Amino acid sequence: MKNPLLFFLIFISILSEGRTIRVGPTHEIKQIKPALSLSSQGDTIIVEAGLYQEGNIVINQSIVFLGVGMPIIDGEKIYEVLSIKANNVVVSGFTIQHSGIATMDDPGGIKVYYSNHVTVSDNYLYDNFFGVYMLCCKNCLIKNNKIVALGKEEQMIGNGIHCWKSDSMLIIANNISGHRDGIYFEFVTHSVIWRNISTYNIRYGLHFMFSNDDSYFTNLFRGNGAGVAVMFTSRVIMINNTFEENWGDAAYGLLLKEISDSYIYGNHFVKNTSGIYMEGTNRIYISMNVLQSNGWGMKIQASCMDNTITNNNFVSNTFDISTNGSLVLNTFNENYWDKYEGYDLNRDQTGDIPYHPLSLFSVIIEKNPPAMLLYRSSMVMLLDKSEKVLPSLTPDNFIDHKPRMHALPL
């Protein structure tokens, strides 16, 4: 068997006290709903390959629900396909497709209601309004699913993985595309998002709202409408993620809005309109990141304070830094700036003169966006030269006192 997790689940089901009920064209039970009505707590239902169109299928007791050969459960564009309303349920090995669309009820390919210890793994969810929807759940695992939708407008499609008012969720190694948001968290705490690929979603690859004490590691967010947004949240850890090719007038690799006491380390921000956009952020530690080939490496609004930006590489950005105010209460230290033209006479690998990463032209652009038409003009080149001679033209406290001479090996 190619899928080791599916093999393990079948092996555990054989050893368990519950019965095994088989469903499929070659068995006595041909449909899923009759098998569910015959099942008891702790049973395993194994479904053979085939097409199953049975309306809304509801699992309301603790069972293991396994597909062999990727059987297709089809909602016929009318129904919520699979509803789970019990603790300790496993769903693995199915193609789940064509749910109904209803903006009031939010139907999903798989929707879990008020349940704990539910595992959704190794499924293919195709053309559903919501892919996997977790409503008031705890200690659930969503792993190794491929979740694909064909959304064109935000109002006509839901999210790939949607978690609301949940705790201790594990979202691991899913591949998500074509939804409103790839992954959406609202009022979700103590959860981990790890090794997911979220690409070409209409709005955000990942969207956090009011979700404290969460972490996300080693995810890829590419080509989404506006990148990733983390809003109204505290104590978030973001490590080793890649944010790339998120382009547009209001797009960014990562939007941080009204967040505090968080940690951003070892990420790559490549080819975004803005690598990181910060508004109303406090006590954010940003270190060992690569900001490369973005329109703006970072946009830090005047509402941000007590943030530390240290040991990052700023490479080939049109503008490394931008702000909309004159008072900057953040710390820049020991970053590498490829635009730095200073010297290192004592050879300690840091520049002997401080670096002002905020260009005068970027300040002008922030206040008058149409001025971008003058970029690369002789007037702008003159501004750059004037700025190097008279750095007081930009805010004095927007300064890296120990700029690195060489890029960090990140």
DSSP track, 228-282: EEEEEEES-EEES-EEE---STT--SEEEEEEEEEEEES-EEES-SEEEEEES-E
* pLDDT tens digits for range 283-308: 999 999 999 999 999 999 889 999 99
When pLDDT is cut at 50, 70 and 90, the band that residue 250 belongs to is confident
Residue 118 contacts residue 95 (beta carbons within 8 Å): no
Would you state the structure tokens that stand for residue 214, as one six-digit string?
């969460």
Q: Give the whole-number percent of the chain exceeding pLDDT 70.
A: 86
Residue 405 contacts residue 344 (beta carbons within 8 Å): yes
**Least confident interval from 13-17, 21-25, 347-351:** 13-17
Q: Give the whole-number percent of the chain exceeding pLDDT 90.
A: 71
- Architecture of the domain defined by 4-393: 3 Solenoid (2.160)
Segments making up each domain of the chain, as ranges:
4-393
pLDDT at 394 over 80: no
DSSP track, 360-379: HHHHHHHH-GGGGGGTTSHH
The pLDDT score that the predictor gives to residue 173 is: 98
* pLDDT tens digits for range 99-158: 999 878 899 999 999 999 999 999 999 999 999 999 999 999 999 999 999 988 887 899
Instruction: Look at residue 378 and give its three-state secondary structure.
Output: helix
* pLDDT tens digits for range 259-287: 999 999 999 999 999 999 999 999 999 99
Which residue(s) pair with 321 in the sheet?
298, 358
The pLDDT score that the predictor gives to residue 382 is: 61
Averaged confidence pLDDT in the chain: 89
The letter for the amino acid at 336 is: Y
pLDDT at 204 over 80: yes
Residue 253 contacts residue 243 (beta carbons within 8 Å): yes
pTM given for the model = 0.88
- Residue 73 to residue 56: CA distance in whole angstroms: 10
Going by the DSSP 8-state scheme, the letter that residue 349 receives in this structure is S
156-165: average pLDDT: 96
Nearest Cα to Cα of residue 157 among 109, 214, 95, 113:
109
The pLDDT score that the predictor gives to residue 342 is: 87
Looking up tokens 């955000």, which residue turns up?
A: 204
Q: Classify each residue of 137-165 as buried b or exposed e, where b means 16 or more C-beta atoms within 10 Å of its C-beta.
A: bbbbebbbbbbbbebeeeeebbbbbbbbb
Which has the higher per-residue pLDDT, 357 or 394?
357
Measured distance between the N- and C-terminal CA atoms of the chain, rounded to whole angstroms: 39
- Residue 227 to residue 224: CA distance in whole angstroms: 5
The pLDDT score that the predictor gives to residue 4 is: 55
DSSP percent split of the chain into helix, strand, coil, nearest 5: 10, 40, 50
When pLDDT is cut at 50, 70 and 90, the band that residue 254 belongs to is very high
Residue 298 contacts residue 319 (beta carbons within 8 Å): no
Which has the higher per-residue pLDDT, 204 or 249?
204
CA separation, residue 238 to residues 34, 257, 268 (Å) = 46, 15, 11
The pLDDT score that the predictor gives to residue 357 is: 85
Going by the DSSP 8-state scheme, the letter that residue 345 receives in this structure is T
Which backbone phi and psi does 317 adopt, to 5 degrees?
A: -85, 145
Going by the DSSP 8-state scheme, the letter that residue 139 receives in this structure is S
168-183: average pLDDT: 97
